[in-house]
Amino acid sequence: MSNALDVIPHSLQKRAQSAVLHGVLKLPRPLLRRIAGSPVRLDGQELDLEVQALLRLQALTGQERMAADTPEKARTGMLRGLEVTRGAEVSGVQVSKRSVRARSGELDARLYRPEGLTEPGSLLVFYHGGGWVVGDLETHDELCRFLAKYADLRVLSVDYRLAPEHAFPAAAEDAVDAYQYVLDNAADLGSSPDSIAVGGDSAGGNLAAVVAQHATANGLKSPVLQFLLYPAVDASTRRRSRELFSDGFLLTDGDMDWFMDMYQPDVAERSDPRLSVLLNEELSGLAPTVLITAGFDPLRDEGEEYARRLSAAGVPVISRRFPDLIHGFANLLGASTRLREAMFETVGQLRAGLALHSE
């Protein structure tokens, strides 16, 4: 006998699940606490109640991990999960399809422009997260709309090649090529080579850092800013935060192993600075950096160590930890009030970082 849900269209199922999730997260806090369970306290931090409830609901629906049996299933799972958590569409942003030339061929891209922004200005080249294996233009559409609208700048989201079909250094090469393309075509994108920033979340943050290092080392015009959201910066070492938050906080230890085995299966080559950017011995002269971390994130400690190393090398750095949040919180901004508040503050840090360029 077939399941009754099988006759309900997928889109209706997702809308129903989304309505339930958003309804639950708006319950009075005492009721929400009963759903979430006892407070989670680790390393002197307490997990936000709304985030804890969200994780609880995801666990009940089997969406608590990012890895899957196959890359295809993981990609579908990420997109479907975000369809449930996504809030109302961010209005006031115009989106156009673009094509970016790279050595590997044409890369799909989307250009986001706030309505009313007609003068040339800053442009953020954005690389999506997803462990170099999952994620695409659609999974990060809400985030890019949010950044464009509230930071009041153009955002070019670039869809690079994914592993394991295209293993390391394919994504890094595409990221560098996309940046070069933007420099060469800045005017057509509503900007200038003097106003290009790079950014991304998680694996995308890694790619943005790779681009910044490549530009400095190879005599390219450096980006005016690196905007790094909980970036992966060192694949060679397990740090304390990876042990503390190995399971139960969206990105798991098993997920990280799965992603890395797909992207760079050769363990001996994981110290390559095009992957482990933290290991680059020369960091001076890099672009000013905004680096955001989350308290309950396996990647927390490596990201914060990178911020310290950049600062020690004389790079202007704005570093901010959200101690009550988890990895991936920027992609969940439509799910709860707390996550949206954090993203408004993050946009403030982005604007402050861009202001460093104009001083």
Active site residues: 202, 297, 327
Q: On the CB side of 287, how many CA atoms lie within 13 Å of its CA? A: 32
Note whether 295 and 324 are within 8 A (CB): yes
In DSSP terms, 125 is beta-bridged to 156, 198
C-alpha to C-alpha distance for 148 and 155, rounded to whole angstroms: 6
Start-end of H helices in 125-278: 141-151, 170-184, 203-217, 240-244, 253-263
Note whether 124 and 198 are within 8 A (CB): yes
C-alpha to C-alpha distance for 221 and 78, rounded to whole angstroms: 35
Strand order in the sheet with 317-326: 93-102, 105-114, 154-158, 123-127, 196-201, 226-229, 289-296, 317-326
Note whether 178 and 102 are within 8 A (CB): yes
Kindly state the tokens that stand for 83: 């369809």
Cis peptide before 223 (omega within 30 of 0): no
C-alpha to C-alpha distance for 54 and 30, rounded to whole angstroms: 15
C-alpha to C-alpha distance for 278 and 221, rounded to whole angstroms: 21
Please, what is the Cα angle at 166 between 160 and 172, to 5 degrees? 50
φ, ψ (nearest 5 deg) of residue 344 = -65, -40
Non-local (6+) Cβ contacts of 341 within 8 A are none
Helix (H) or strand (E) holding 229: strand 226-229
Note whether 333 and 143 are within 8 A (CB): yes
- DSSP conformation class of 296: E
Q: Which residue type, as a one-letter code, is found at position 286?
A: L
